[in-house]
């Protein structure tokens, strides 16, 4: 449990979900070879989250969302 005692307890009750990380062409990221890693839900819905490295996108995803499983396609 976490939260501000004056505002009440804030509970993160989101269910862990399956995510897919794909390496896609990104023309704006020329310094890293023109590719970016993008996150999608398991059903293909885009999460609109993209980073130039796999480590950065995985860290950002695990920090903000409960993860059940990750599939990485390069």
User: Is the sign of the CA dihedral 31, 61, 45, 40 positive or negative?
Assistant: positive
What are the tens digits of pLDDT across the range 7-62? 655 556 778 899 999 999 887 766 667 888 999 999 999 998 889 899 999 999 98
Q: Taking a C-beta distance cutoff of 8 angstroms, is the pair 54, 61 a contact? A: no
Residue 55 is predicted with a pLDDT of: 94
Rounded to two decimals, what is the model's pTM?
0.74
Residue 11 is predicted with a pLDDT of: 59
10 Å CB burial of residue 17 (0-12, 13-18, 19+) is middle
Q: Taking a C-beta distance cutoff of 8 angstroms, is the pair 70, 58 a contact? A: yes
Enumerate the domain spans of the chain: 17-73
């Amino acid at each position: 449990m976490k939260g501000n005692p004056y505002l009440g307890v804030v509970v993160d009750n989101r269910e862990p979900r399956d995510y897919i990380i794909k390496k896609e062409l990104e023309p704006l990221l020329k310094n890293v070879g023109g590719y970016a890693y993008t996150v999608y839900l398991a059903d293909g819905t885009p999460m609109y989250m993209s980073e130039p490295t796999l480590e950065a996108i995985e860290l950002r995803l695990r920090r903000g969302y409960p993860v059940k499983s990750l599939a990485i396609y390069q």
